[in-house]
Structure 1
Amino acid sequence: MTEIRTPRLILRRWNDDDLAPMAEINTDPQVMRWIDDGSVRDLEHTAEAIEQWEEEWDEEGFGLFAVELLASGELAGFTGLYVPDFLPEAQPDVAIGWRLGSQFWGQGYASEAAHATLEFALQDRGLDRVISISRVGDDASENIARKLGMALERETTHPVYGFPLYIHAIDLTEFDA
């Protein structure tokens, strides 16, 4: 089982106990405002999403990690790698993404988890390049991408919702572990 430990976090595969806390995160309008059309997601949708994330692990050898606080065992949300199928122009790149509950914001957890995930992608999984896709205006996500050493590559438009997106990128030669 793939697991990464950072000074404050455990990044791991999903288990049944993660469903309720992840569903709670997905029902927070503040968390979801930058995701797709901004709609919150219910328990059923969250269960389907976790199942898909686990399938991606099995098919791709990477996926979205459950992010657990080392000190308390609480599920803070996720960070990890995914294939951005919704954005054909980004193919064949692999993207890094994150979503934490709002009570975990502003403490550096997302940056810590994303850095460990990026290191995993480039050093353990042998990817040469990783991108980040964020909505224009999502300053917190753009800040994390910059902290990872990613550079703004281009602006594009979400093919379904029509809002502008930024694509940041980094390749192995630019990564500073």
Structure 2
Amino acid sequence: MTEIRTPRLLLRRWHDDDLAPMAEINADPRVMHWIDDGSVHDLDRTAEEIERWEEEWDDEGFGLFAVELLASGELVGFTGLYVPGFLPEAASEVAISWRLGSQFWGQGYASEAAQATLEFALQDRNLDRVISIDRLDNQASANVIRKLGMAPERETTHPVYGYPLRVHAIDLTEYQA
């Protein structure tokens, strides 16, 4: 079982008791504002997502980690790696992503978890390159991406929802520099 510990967080595979707290995160309009069309997800859709994330672990050898606070065991949200099939021009890439409950914003958890995930991708999974995709108006995600050392590579448009996206990238040689 793959686990990563940071000073404050445990990144791990999903457990059955993660469903309810992740569904709470997905039910928060402030969190979901940046996801797809901005709709909140119910318990059933969250269960489907977690199942899909676990299948990606089995199929790809990487996926989205459940992120919990070491001090309390509370689920913060997720961070991890995925193949961005929704964006045809990036469908052969591996992207880093995160989604945290709004009560955990502004405390550096996203950056801490994302940095550990990036290290996992480039050093443990031996990926040569990792991308991140964010909406142009999502300043919080842009800040995390900047802290990861990722450089803007191109702008595009979400193929379904039509809003502008920016693709950032970092490769192994840039990461090691």
TM value normalised by structure 2 = 0.99
- Listed as ranges, the matches of 1:2-17 within 5 Å are 2-17=2-17
Structure 2: distance between partners of 1:146 and 1:174: 13
- Tell me the SS of whatever aligns to 1:14: coil
Output the amino acid matched with 2:55.
Answer: E
Whole-Å separation in 2 of the counterparts to 1:53 and 1:91:
16
4+ runs deviating over 6 angstroms: none
Equivalent residue for 2:77?
Answer: 77
Residue 136 of structure 1, CA deviation: 1.1
Is structure 2 residue 89 aligned with structure 1 residue 92?
A: no
Task: State the partner residue of 1:104.
Answer: 104
Q: How does 1:108-147 map to 2 (within 5 A)?
A: 108-147=108-147
In 2, Cα distance between equivalents of 1:126 and 1:66: 21
Unmatched tracts of structure 2, length 5 or more: none
C-alpha deviations, 1:20-61, integer Å up to 9, x for none? Answer: 000000000000001000000000000000000000000000
Question: Cα deviations across residues 43-88 of structure 1 (Å, max 9, x unaligned)?
Answer: 0000000000000000000000000000000000000000000001
Question: How far apart are 1:92 and its partner, in Å?
Answer: 1.4
Partner of 1:167: 167
The CA deviation at 1:150 is 0.2
User: Are 1:18 and 2:9 counterparts?
Assistant: no
Structure 1 unaligned runs (5+)? Answer: none
One-letter amino acid of the structure 2 residue matched with residue 70 of structure 1:
L
Secondary structure in 2 matching 1:175: helix
Alpha-carbon separation, structure 2, partners of 1:82 and 1:100: 16
Q: What letter is aligned with 2:81?
A: L
Identity %: 81
Distance in 2 (CA, whole Å) between partners of 1:98 and 1:175 is 19
Correspondence 1:149 to 2:153: no
CA distance in 1, matches of 2:9, 2:176: 20
Within 5 Å, which residues of 2 pair with 1:40-79? 40-79=40-79
Q: CA RMSD in A?
A: 0.8
